[in-house]
Structure 1
Amino acid sequence: MNEIIKLIKSIGAERLASRFSAAVLYGVLSSFALNFFYQPGHVYASGITGAAQIVSDITIRLTGHNFLPISLMIFVINIPLMLLAWKGIGRRFTLYTLITIGMSSIFIHFVPVTQLTSDPVINAVFGGAILGFGVGNAMKEGISSGGTDIVSLYVRQKTGRKVGTLSFIVNGIIVFVAGILFGWEYMLYSIIAIFISSRVQDAVFTRQKRLQVMIVTQYPDLLIDKLFEKFNHGVTILNNTEGGYTHEKRTVLLSVITMYEYQDFKRIIAKYDPHAFVSISENVRVLGKFEEIMD
C-alpha cells in the first residue's frame, strides 16, 4: 500500500486527474455499449469483456441466478493480468489500467440494462462504435482497458514480437460461444460488432503509431535531459540552424515517439520551453531498435 501511495505522489495530481477523467469516460461509454446494446441484443464484445459476458451467461443458464455479473468478472479476470503488468510492463501503466478497469466495472454494474432496439444489427453497430470510441480515446490519453492488451504489450516488450494472433484466438472463441448459446446468426452479429469496434478504435488511436518530432529550441541541453529522463529514445541534434525571419541561431532536435507518449511529450515542451517550435509527422517507419515505453 505504501508503494502505491508513493507511486501516486510521483505521478502528480494534474496528470493523475487527466488519466482519471479519461478512465471515467471509458467507464461510461463501455457501460452504455454493454448495457444498452450488447446485452439486450445478445451481442458479444471482444477480449476480456466478451469473456466476462460468456462466463456470466453460462452461469445464469446453469444456475438460473446471476452469481457472477459481468462487472465482477471483468475485474476478476483482469487481476492476474494486472499482476503481470506490474512486474513486466510498468507500475504507472498498471495503476492507470486498474483505475480504468475499476471505473468500467462500477458503471457497468450500476447502469441498468435497457433495450433501446430489438434489431441485433443496430445493437452490433452502435455497441461496437461506442465501445471502439471508448477504448480508442482511453489509449489516446495514455491508459489501457486491460485484457489481451496487457499480454500483447508484455510479450512485445520482452521479445520484440507482436502477438496479434492472441486477440484473434480469443475473439474467435467468443463469437463461437455466442453462436452456441444464442444461435449462429448471433455469431455473425458479434463478428460485426468486433469489426466495427476495432475500426473505430483504430480511427481514434493506434497504439503502435509512431510520430517524428522536430523541435526548434533555444534550450537543447535542457530538453534533451528531460526527454531522456522520460523516454528511452534517441535524439538527433542539428546545431547552428538559423531562423529565416529572425536570423537567430537555434538548435533542432529530431526524435521519434509513440502516440502513447504524445501527452507526456507535450507536457515536457510546455513546461521547459513553451516558445519552442514543434513539428510532428505521423505514421513514420523506423528501421533499427525502437523501444516502447509504457510506464
Structure 2
Amino acid sequence: MIEHLLSHRKEIQDYGTKFFILVIYAFLYSIALNIFWRNGNIYAGGITGISQIVTTILEAATSQKIPISLVYYGLNLPLFILGWFVVDRKFVIFTIIGVTFASFAIEITPMIELTKDPIICAIFGGAISGYSLGFALKHGLSTGGMDIVLLSLRKLTGKSIGNLSLIINGVIVLTAGFIFGWPHAFYSVLSIFVGAKATDLVYVKHKKGQVMIITQHPEKVIDKLQEQLTRGMTVVYNAKGAYQQKDQAMLITVITYREMEILKEIMKQVDPKAFVSVSQDVEILSDFEEIDII
C-alpha cells in the first residue's frame, strides 16, 4: 500500500516536472520567434518556418494581420493525428500539450525590437530555440509535430537530432528564400545551423557510453538494470579485488547518455558502494537499438 502511494506520488511529481519544462520551453521559443526571428526577417525551420511562410503569404493575399500562433497550431493538427496512430500515444499527448503552451506563449509574447540586425537575430534566435528544443527532448518531451519526424529518422539512421534537423530545415528555409529573397535564406540557414549545434549540446541521447561496474551484489544489479534499461551486458565473475581480496563481479554494458541518469539512480538504490566507470562517446560497430524513454 505504502509502495503504491509512493509510486503514485512520484508519478504526479514527474508529470508536474514535465509540465514545468514545457512552460520553460514554450516561453524561450516564443522569445526566439517574436524578439529575434520576426524582427530580423529570419525564417525558422520545421513547423515554425512553414508557419512563417504561410502567414506571410496569407497576409499578403488578404491584407489582414494573421496570428502566427493559430497557423502554427493548425499545421500541427494533422501531425497529432498521424502521431496518435503511428507513435506512442503518451508521447503525442505531451506533444499536444507542448504545442498548446508554445502557441499561447507566441501569442502573448510581445514583439520587442531589440535589434533588426539579421546576423544578431539569426545567432541569438537560433541559440535560444536550439537550447529550448534540446532541453525539452532531453527530458523525453516533444515540442511539435516535426519532432515526431526527427525522432523517427534518428532511430532509423542513427544520425543526431541536430544534423537531421539541419537537413530538413535547410530545405524549408531555401524554399522561403526562393519565394521571399535569398538574403533572408542565407541568414536563416545560419540561424538553423546555430540552433542545431545548441540542440546537440543539450540533447545527447544519441551518444553512447561504455559502463563497467565492479560489484559484490551482481544478481541484484543485473536484475534491476535489465528491468529498467533492457540492455544486454557481459558478466565476469570471480574478479578479485587487489586490496581486500574479496570476490566481486565485473559487469560491462553500453548505454546512451539519456539512460545515464537512470543508471545512477539504480546504483544508488541497489549498490551505492559499487565502483562504476564510464567511457564516454564510444563507437559501436554492431547493432545497437535506440530505446526511446518518454
TM over 0.5: yes
Go from structure 1 to structure 2 and tell me whether the alpha carbon gap of 1:233 and 1:193 turns closer, same or farther (over 3 Å shift).
same
Cα 1:225/1:161, change in 2 over 3 Å: same
Say whether the 8 Å CA contact 1:85–1:154 is kept in structure 2: no
Q: Distance in 2 between matches of 1:185 and 1:113?
A: 22
Instruction: Give the whole-Å Cα distance in 1 for the aligned partners of 2:55 and 2:114.
Output: 21
- Alpha-carbon distance in 2 for matches of 1:202, 1:292: 17
Q: SS at 1:238's partner residue?
A: strand
Distance between the aligned counterparts of 1:235 and 1:10, measured in 2? 32
Task: Report the CA distance shift for 1:155/1:195 in structure 2 as closer, same or farther (over 3 A).
Answer: closer
1:239 is matched with which residue? 237
State whether residues 132 and 199 of structure 1, in contact with CA within 8 Å, keep that contact through their aligned partners in structure 2: yes
Deviations 1:254-283 (CA, angstroms, capped at 9, x unpaired): 222222333333333334334433322221
Alignment of 1:13 with 2:5, yes or no, is: no
| 2: CA distance, partners of 1:260 / 1:253 | 20
Counterpart of 2:63? Answer: 64
Segment drifting more, 242-251 vs 103-112: 242-251
Report the equivalent of 1:5.
none
Cα distance change on mapping 1:91 and 1:260 into 2, 3 Å:
farther
- Residues of 1 paired with 2:210 and 2:18: CA distance? 24
SS at match of 2:128: helix
1:284 is aligned to 282
The residue number in structure 1 matching 2:199 is 201
Structure 1 gaps of 5+ residues are: 1-7
Q: TM-score, normalised by structure 2?
A: 0.83
1:185-239 Cα distance to aligned partner (Å, 9 max, x none)? 1111111111111122222233421122223334332332333233332122222
* 1:100 corresponds to: 98
User: Does residue 79 of structure 2 align to residue 81 of structure 1?
Assistant: yes
Quote how far apart the aligned CAs of 1:143 are: 2.3
Which stretch shows the higher mean deviation, 201-210 or 260-269? 260-269
**RMSD (CA atoms):** 2.8
Partner of 2:218: 220
1:35 alignment counterpart:
34
Verify: 1:116 aligned to 2:118, yes or no: no
User: Within 2, Cα distance between the matches of 1:194 and 1:32?
Assistant: 16
Percent same amino acid among aligned pairs? 39
Matched, 1:148 2:146: yes
Q: 1:179, CA displacement in angstroms?
A: 4.9
CA distance in structure 2 between the aligned counterparts of 1:226 and 1:98, rounded to whole angstroms: 33
Q: Which residue of 1 aligns with 2:136?
A: 138
Normalised to the residue count of structure 1, the TM-score between the two structures is 0.83
Change (3 A) 1:276 1:153: same
Q: Distance in 1 between matches of 2:36 and 2:104?
A: 18
Task: Describe the shift of the 1:18–1:213 C-alpha distance in structure 2 as closer, same or farther (beyond 3 A).
Answer: farther
User: Which one of 268, 274, 294 corresponds to residue 292 of structure 2?
Assistant: 294
